[in-house]
């Protein structure tokens, strides 16, 4: 399965931006997202990713901690996401693919300013881990998003 060729999304689509430049990891993640009915964009260069984040509001953003040779501390995509205003940042469910941190480590996720961590060793189980993480996220932030939309409509 390949990511969608179309750069356009329809209203109501589940959308994902995959910032994973390691081919093997990308080939494990993308088919599982497509299987979950996500329309997928690949972000392979920093400038491309930043432009896509300005253009689209993705449901899920997946970032490899060593994107383009970076570390979690100097990862350009993570830094850009963290700098966004809180309400804007909360539009995206941010997943960090990591060598160092264990899957579902809530404290490390908090420290890294992401919503979920998936360890490289668990990429074969990406789909159930993501499904559970997104469900918990929706439960936690559902009323926040509804209130935000209501306030913005006024």
Q: How far apart are CA 20 and CA 153, in angstroms?
A: 36
Angle formed by the axes of helices 126-153 and 23-35, nearest 10°: 60
- Tokens coding 19: 């910032």
Q: Record the pTM.
A: 0.85
Token pair 């929706």 in the structure block, residue: 138
What is the tens place of the pLDDT at every residue in 54-83?
A: 888 899 999 999 999 999 889 999 999 888
> How high is the pLDDT of residue 72?
85
Q: How far apart are CA 138 and CA 133, in angstroms?
A: 9
Q: Which fold has domain 14-153?
A: Rossmann fold (3.40.50)
> How high is the pLDDT of residue 139?
82
Domain coordinates in residue numbering, the chain: 14-153
Residues of the chain with pLDDT under 70: 1-9, 86-87, 141-145, 148-149, 152
């Amino acid at each position: 399965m390949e990511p969608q060729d179309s750069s356009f999304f329809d209203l109501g689509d589940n959308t994902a931006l995959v910032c994973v430049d390691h081919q093997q990891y990308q080939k494990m993640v993308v088919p599982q997202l497509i299987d979950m009915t996500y329309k997928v964009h690949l972000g392979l260069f920093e400038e491309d990713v930043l432009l896509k984040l300005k253009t689209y509001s993705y449901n899920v953003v997946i970032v490899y901690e060593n994107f383009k040779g970076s570390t979690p501390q100097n990862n350009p995509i993570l830094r850009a996401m963290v700098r966004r205003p809180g309400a804007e940042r909360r539009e995206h469910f941010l997943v960090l693919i990591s060598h160092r941190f264990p899957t579902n480590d809530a404290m490390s996720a908090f420290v890294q300013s992401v919503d979920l961590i998936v360890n490289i060793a668990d990429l074969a189980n990406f789909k159930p881990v993501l499904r559970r993480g997104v469900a918990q996220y929706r439960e936690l932030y559902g009323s926040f998003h509804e209130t935000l939309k209501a306030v913005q409509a006024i």
